[in-house]
Amino acid sequence: MTRLSPPNPGEAGPYARASLVGSAYAAIQHMASVTQSPPGPDLGTSIYKRAGHLFRLALDPIGAVDARFARYGDIYRVGQSSNSLYVLKHPDYVRDVLVTHAHAFGKQHGAFQRLALVLGDGLLTSEGERWRRQRRLVQPAFARPRLCEYSETMVEEALRTAGELRDRARLSLSAVMTQLTLRIVARTLFGQHLLDTSRVARAMRWLNAAFGRPDLMPRGLPTPTRLRVRRGVADLDAAVFGMIDRRIASSAQGAVREHDLLQRLLDARDEEGDLRGLDRRELRDQLLTLYLAGHETTSHALTWAFYLLSQHPAAQRALDDELARVLGGRPPGFEDLQNLVYTEWVVKEAMRLYPPAFAIPRLAIQDAAIGPYPISAGSEVVIWTYHMHRDPRFFPEPERFLPERFADSSSAERSKHAYLPFGAGQRACIGQTFAMIEAQLLIASLAQQVRFRYDGKRPPRPRTGVTLAPDNGLPIRVERLR
Ligand code: HEM
């Protein structure tokens, strides 16, 4: 904690004595330290208060956090110990955590540690020199010429999915989008066509169910949830090691050398001039991270986007007009992206209302500050993107689906970090452009061929797992246009 200096540090001696001036100074210092801490609930040491807090969070995380923001403002503190939890939703505080003082806030937060039990030490969870090396290795896979190549695969897979959708079929849109985005990431980054995506999708459902709520059971107890996580991880391992082994086998048989990310990671030692390449475990961690991070978020963004379009006929019409004008019935391509402006706004607005990465956690690894508040090392920090995206100061009429709010003139007025679907600073999403291109192309391809009619009995609710998914899998009825 930063303390007020005595009026004259050279006179610290007299202040240390129990004099009248000394007591006055102590009182001022106490007041300062109080005002230097954001407001928040004092759970004290009461086990009941803490259990109540966790229970409310487990039951309705979004509502519980919303109520706290309404009561305490843009930042609140839970717990009064030196290692408190700070929860925030203001762009200036976001900048402090992710950009200005990014070196002081690391990824050792419990949420990432739980994720690391599955992902290992890949790009999303690693830190320091190890992370820098991984980022250097992976970055070229997201360079513009590569993205241009991937766009063909994205459209091909979207058209294949569109072709498979029968008129009036009743389906879960989440499941359709998961299969589609899984196939795309596997083909573009790892050059793999033949994959059992259903097991991976099932593993993701289990992981989301397990990670969406605090685990309150005693450590070591083999609960059904924990057993499912274990089985899910085994399935994911089988999928990823299968990709590695197939590639090694085809190289040994003299197959044409691939130039995808998988090959790049296999060849890491040559390109880095570093004799130690990635071992099998490191390779697995990296591939699994990209495999999961590369499909799950985009799949939810698309599911929410189609749901919102199904509920807003005017937006659907504006999208149809743009697709007819720009594409005239043909499939989209990389060069069309710059003209698919409304399509891009639809994606952005869907991610504003339902940001797949709804919260970004960090752990203070050294003393730091957020705005006027000193934060001591060991404190947890959570940025709630979901609530910031629905704050009327940054997005007027925040509950409305209004893609045109992303027109240049209006988005320029917004604070830079108020819109945060991909994070910010050096740990921002490496797949941001990949995801935007994919979402635009998939919407443009599918919307020309099918309409998804929402078929749920009640509106879907956002469920906070690893990412923000619709709680009912988004039931839809397919209507073919062609
Ligand atoms: C709509 C789609 C996506 C959303 C909303 C999204 C969101 C995010 C966010 C918010 C972060 C920062 C997390 C943090 O600061 O702790 C992140 C990081 C990351 N994302 Fe994405 N992402 C998306 C798509 C993708 C895709 C397509 C890929 C890969 C193909 C990907 C791979 C990654 C990786 C590897 C990181 C860690 C980067 C690092 O720490 O260096 N993401 N993503």
Residue 34: the pLDDT is 41
The percent of residues in the chain predicted with pLDDT above 70, rounded, is 88
- Establish whether residue 356 lines the binding site of ligand 1, counting it when its CB lies within 6 angstroms of any ligand atom: yes
**What confidence score (pLDDT) does residue 3 get?**
31
- For residues 387-394, give the mean pLDDT: 96
Rounded-to-integer distance, Cα 411 and Cα 451, Å = 29
Q: Where are the alpha helices (DSSP H) in 354-465?
A: 385-388, 408-412, 432-447
More confidently predicted of 425 and 201: 425
**Phi-psi sector, 12: left (phi>0), alpha (psi -120 to 50), beta:** alpha
Contact yes or no for 100/371 (Cβ under 8 A): no
Task: Spell out the residues 6+ positions from residue 102 whose beta carbon is closer than 8 angstroms to its own.
Answer: 425, 426, 427
Is it the case that residue 132 has pLDDT exceeding 50?
Answer: yes
Average pLDDT over residues 313-341: 98
Q: Is the dihedral of CA 351, 121, 221, 47 positive or negative?
A: negative
Residue 5 has pLDDT above 60, yes or no: no
Place of tokens 């259903």: 198
pLDDT of residue 15: 30
Predicted confidence band of residue 196 (pLDDT cuts 50, 70, 90)? low
Instruction: Supply the pLDDT for residue 10.
Output: 29
Q: Band of the pLDDT at 272, cuts 50, 70, 90?
A: low
Nearest to 435 by CA among 20, 122, 147: 147
Q: What percent of the chain has pLDDT over 90?
A: 62
Residue 20: per-residue pLDDT: 45
Higher pLDDT, 46 or 478: 478
Q: How confident is the model at residue 412 (pLDDT cuts 50, 70, 90)?
A: low
Pairwise CA distance, residues 355 & 420, whole Å: 8
Which of 469, 433, 461, 440 has the alpha carbon at shortest distance from 356?
469
pLDDT at residue 424 greater than cutoff 90: yes
Nearest Cα neighbor of 387 from 95, 52, 93, 70 is 70
Which range, 276-290, 389-403, 404-418, is most confident? 389-403
Q: What is the pLDDT of residue 100?
A: 97
> In the prediction, which pLDDT does 276 show?
60
Query: Atom 37 (ligand 1): residue with closest C-alpha?
Result: 124
Mean pLDDT taken over the chain: 87
Evaluated on CA atoms 67, 68, 72, 73, the torsion sign reads negative
Total number of residues shown for the chain: 482
Cβ neighbourhood burial of 411 (10 Å; 0-12, 13-18, 19+)? middle
Q: What is the pLDDT of residue 200?
A: 84
The pLDDT assigned to 202 comes to: 87
450-478 per-position pLDDT tens digit = 999 999 999 999 999 889 999 999 999 99
Q: Ligand 1: which of 297, 437, 441 to mutate, judged by most atoms within 8 Å of the beta carbon?
A: 297
Lowest-pLDDT choice from 192-206, 278-292, 301-315: 192-206
Rg, the chain, Cα only: 25
Q: What is the pLDDT of residue 465?
A: 87
The winner for highest mean pLDDT among 126-135, 203-212, 304-313, 399-408 is 304-313
Rounded to an integer, the average pLDDT of 299-325 is 98
Count of alpha carbons within 13 Å of 282, Cβ hemisphere only?
15
pLDDT for the residue numbered 215: 73
Q: Are 40 and 46 in contact (CB under 8 A)?
A: no
Phi–psi pair at 159, nearest 5 degrees: -65, -35
Residue 132 to residue 135: CA distance in whole angstroms? 5
Is residue 31 over pLDDT 60? no
CA-CA distance, 134 to 150, in Å (whole number)?
21
Strand order in the sheet with 359-364: 75-78, 85-88, 380-384, 359-364, 105-106
287 vs 285: CA distance, rounded Å: 6
Which residues does residue 297 pair with via DSSP β-bridges, in sequence order? none
Of residues 203 and 331, more confidence is placed in: 331
Decide if pLDDT at 32 tops 50.
no
> Predicted confidence band at 105 (pLDDT cuts at 50, 70, 90)?
very high
Residue identified by tokens 């980022």 is 135
- Nearest CA, atom 6, ligand 1: 422
pLDDT band of 86, cuts 50, 70, 90: very high
Sign of the CA dihedral running 31, 33, 38, 43: negative
Task: Give the residue whose CA is nearest to atom 7 of ligand 1.
Answer: 422
Task: Tell me if residue 421 falls in helix, strand or coil.
Answer: coil
Fill in the amino acid letter for 40: G
> Does residue 28 surpass a pLDDT of 90?
no
Tell me, using a 6 A CB cutoff, whether residue 357 lines ligand 1.
yes
Ranges of H-type helices in 294-426: 296-311, 313-327, 341-353, 385-388, 408-412
Distance CA 47, CA 243 (A): 48
**pTM for the whole structure:** 0.89
Could you tell me the distance, in angstroms and rounded to a whole number, from the CA of residue 249 to the centre of ligand 1? Answer: 30
Relative to beta strand 380-384, strand 450-454 is: unpaired
Ligand 1 atom at minimum distance from 355 CA: 5
- For the CA of 107, the closest atom of ligand 1 is 16
Task: Decide which of 267 and 393 is more confident.
Answer: 393
Does the CB atom of residue 124 touch ligand 1 within 6 A? yes
Query: Distance (Å, rounded) from C-alpha 216 to C-alpha 208?
Result: 16
Cα 298 from Cα 73, distance rounded (Å): 31
- Mark out the alpha helices in 142-254 (DSSP H runs): 144-164, 173-190, 197-211, 224-252
Cα–Cα distance, 474 to 170 (Å, whole number): 10
CA atoms within 13 A on the CB side of 429: 19
Q: Would you state the pLDDT for residue 30?
A: 42
Q: pLDDT of 340-373, one tens digit each?
A: 999 999 999 999 999 999 999 999 999 999 999 9
**Residue pointed to by tokens 């999403």:** 429
* Reported confidence tier of residue 33, pLDDT bands at 50, 70, 90: very low
The finding on whether 302 has its CB within 6 A of some atom of ligand 1 is: no
Ligand 1 atom closest to Cα of 138?
35
